A and B are shown apart, each in its own frame.
Chain A
Amino acid sequence: MEIDSLSTTFSALADPTRRAILARLTTGAATVKELSAPFAMSGPAVSKHLRVLERAGLIQRGREAQWRPCTLDAAPLKEVAEWAGEFRRFWDASYARLDGYLEHLKKQEQTHGKRT
């Protein structure tokens, strides 16, 4: 079950337009027209992306108004975001530390080499 919902989130995120839409929605609710503005893309094409995001539970759409403003529902992203955001920070920090540690190992080997 967990894998299925994560896979749905993964597929929904695996598109730059949809990620851009989510990024826009972090600043507040928006209509389809507003969301379409930055893209060279028709309203229906954007609506298709919105349906994918809605199925993944990443956005909610108002029922009452004709323009159905979209709002972000970030809960499914939390787990993915926490893990993904750490990825590059993790490796950058580790490699920087490895540079220093390799210096230490080289010196150790040199000292050891001289002794034997």
Chain B
Amino acid sequence: MVSGLKLGVTTYTTPSDTELLITRVFDAPRKIVFDAWTDPRHVPQWLLGPEGWTMPVCEVDLRAGGSWRYVWRKGDGTEMEMSGKYREVAPPERAIWTESWGAEWPETVNTLVLSDSGGRTAMALTIRYVSKEARDAALATGMKDGIEVSFERLDRMLS
């Protein structure tokens, strides 16, 4: 599974009708990668998306049944919130949690699996959506050639 995987490359694939699989190899041992993903001291240092966002709120109760909540903020005051519950926590190789962007967005179930590859760590993050429609809509712009440009054009039209 880990042979031939390159550093610095993220792959996005659709292993089933309702899932999205994100893989990437990190040049660090599993324990460090697991902590970076789950420790509230580390998460706000990197899980920030494009430039300009900070994460002023990062609450993590890292145990099965425990809740988590992230709040991002942009310079202009725009806020974005995501929350969920951990279903399984098995450091340094596995964590499963639910995730929602808010009441109007369907919840996803995310499974993070970290495999050791000679000191490097292969990450497999599976995001399971409630339906194929929900997944495809979530991916419509990023995953399909040409469509992203169209949506950017749309954004300009709408702004």
Contact = CB atoms under 8 A, between A and B. Distances in A.
- Whether both chains belong to one complex is answered with yes
Interface of A: 2-3, 6-7, 9-11, 13-14, 16, 19, 22-23, 26, 74-75, 77-78, 80-103, 105-106, 109
Contact of A84 (B33, B48, B137): B137
A90 B50 contact: yes
Q: Is the interface of A mostly helix, strand, loop or mixed?
A: helix
Interface size class on chain B is: 35 or more
Interface in B10-54: 10, 12, 22, 24, 26-29, 32-33, 35-36, 42, 45-51
Q: Is the interface of B mostly helix, strand, loop or mixed?
A: helix
B150 A23 contact: yes
A17 to B, nearest CB: 12
B32 A84 contact: no
Interface of B: 7-8, 10, 12, 22, 24, 26-29, 32-33, 35-36, 42, 45-51, 101, 104-105, 131-134, 136-144, 146-148, 150-155, 157-158
Contacts of A6: 104-105
B46 A98 contact: yes
Contacts of A94: 46-49
Given A10-B136, A11-B133, A26-B150, A83 B101 contact: yes
Given A85-B141, A102-B28, 10 more contacts: A10-B134, A26-B150, A85-B151, A93-B49, A94-B49, A99-B27, A101-B36, A101-B46, A102-B32, A103-B28
B141 A81 contact: yes
B141 to A, nearest CB: 4
B133 A7 contact: yes
A39 to B, nearest CB: 14
20 contacts: A9-B137, A10-B131, A10-B134, A13-B136, A13-B137, A14-B137, A19-B144, A26-B150, A26-B154, A83-B138, A84-B139, A85-B151, A96-B8, A97-B45, A97-B46, A97-B48, A102-B26, A102-B33, A103-B28, A106-B32
Contact of A92 (B10, B139, B151): B10
Contacts of B7: 99
